[in-house]
Amino acid sequence: MSFRLLSLALILSCLWGCAPQRQALKPSALPTAQATAQETPVPPPVLTDDQLLGLVLPPGMVQDPESGQYALPQVMESFWKLRDKAAQEGWRLILVSGYRSFKNQTRIWNHFDALYQKTDAKLDAKKRVRAIMSLVSVPGLSRHHWGTDLDISEAGLRGQLVNVHPDTPDRIVRFYDWMKLNAPQFGFCKVYLGKRGAVRDEPWHWSYFPYSRIYFQQFMAIRDFHRIMDARVRDAQYLMKNFPKVFQEETKSINTECSSETSSQSTVGSPQSPAKPQIN
């Protein structure tokens, strides 16, 4: 798949992530509260299984006026604080993608599936699904459904979501190092380390752990997934037939410990891992 096509997908990602008709608050309109990666003064809203699967909007979502993206109130407030601290230290954070519905995730999934079918017609469904899963979560299994997970870029990256590789400019490596050091102070942890499962390393994907570690437990206890078995998802037949394996590959990728990586070396990939923008 060409870099140009992926870049195009990223340009569209704001549109995919945007959702109309929700509460829009300015950063100053919310009460101040300090959270760490382990605890928060505001308990997480109770979400139903359908909300965790992206089928129903979580309650009280707020919009970031700058990006137009949505998240749960406490998550957004913590992001604003992180963004303020970043600005004080010379980094301009860009919220690329927050909450996504099942429908939005399906649109992204189908976009990539169609690209693969067009550019690599020889791939069978198994290989194609595996390749897409490294870039995009299966609709219904994305953590972006929860309102807790954010894709964060920086002005120096021009809003792109990029991996670190040996040729990555120093400033970008320093930005990711800054995030690894500072984001956990505001409750945000990196969940895709690229060490196991289908999903690659994602230095841009940050999860508000005081909430998402609770939702993750609930998510792992869901036994009825028939509501996300939707024929409108491309390669749905393969996904339905192999769902246990797909679910395992998706969830195995997740870092549940909020272990911080403080060295840029830990995110430096091999020369074979190109700086592809990705949007799980």
Tokens 């230290």 locate to 89
Of 55-63, 102-110, 146-154, 224-232: span binding Zn ion (CB under 5 A): 146-154
Q: Which stretch in 12-20, 74-82, 203-211, 253-261 sits in contact with Zn ion by CB under 5 A?
A: 203-211
Spatial separation of the C-alpha atoms in residues 61 and 70, rounded to whole Å: 6
Question: Would you say 98 and 69 are in contact if contact means Cβ atoms under 8 Å apart?
Answer: yes
Q: Is 145 in the site for Zn ion (CB under 5 A)?
A: no
Q: Considering only 36-44, 46-54, 177-185, 197-205, which stretch makes contact with Zn ion by CB under 5 A?
A: 197-205
Specify the residue, 117 or 256, whose C-beta has the smaller distance to Zn ion: 256
For the chain, how many residues are written?
280
Alpha-carbon span 118 to 168, nearest angstrom: 29
Within 10 angstroms of residue 31's Cβ, the number of other Cβ atoms is 9
Contacts of 154 (CB under 8 A, 6+ apart): 86, 91, 92, 93, 94, 172, 175
Residue whose CB is less far from Zn ion, 128 or 205:
205
Q: Which is nearer to Zn ion, 99 or 116 (CB)?
A: 99
Interface with Zn ion includes 200 (CB under 5 A)?
no
User: Least distance in Å: CB of 121 to Zn ion?
Assistant: 28
User: Residue with CB nearest Zn ion?
Assistant: 205
C-alpha–C-alpha distance, residues 97 and 279, integer Å: 8
* Among 12-20, 149-157, 256-264, 266-274, the segment contacting Zn ion (CB under 5 A): 149-157
Nearest-approach distance from CB 193 to Zn ion, in angstroms: 13
Q: What are phi and psi for residue 66, nearest 5 degrees?
A: -70, -45
In the complex, minimum distance from the CB of residue 97 to Zn ion, in angstroms, rounded to a whole number: 6
Shortest distance, position 199 Cβ to Zn ion, whole Å: 9
Q: How far apart are CA 277 and CA 161, in angstroms?
A: 5
Q: Is 280 in the site for Zn ion (CB under 5 A)?
A: yes
Q: How far apart are the first and last CA of the chain?
A: 16
Shortest reach from residue 29's CB to Zn ion, in Å: 26
Tell me which residues in 205-264 interact with Zn ion (CB under 5 A).
205
CB closer to Zn ion out of 180 and 205? 205
Give the pair of three-digit tokens for residue 53: 């699967």
Cβ atoms of 249 and 242 within 8 Å: the answer is no
Contacting range for Zn ion; rule: CB under 5 A; set: 67-75, 103-111, 198-206, 220-228: 198-206
DSSP state of 21: S
Contact between 151 and Zn ion by CB under 5 A: the answer reads yes
What is d(CA 139, CA 150) in angstroms, rounded to the nearest whole number?
A: 16
Positions touching Zn ion (CB under 5 A) are 151, 205, 280
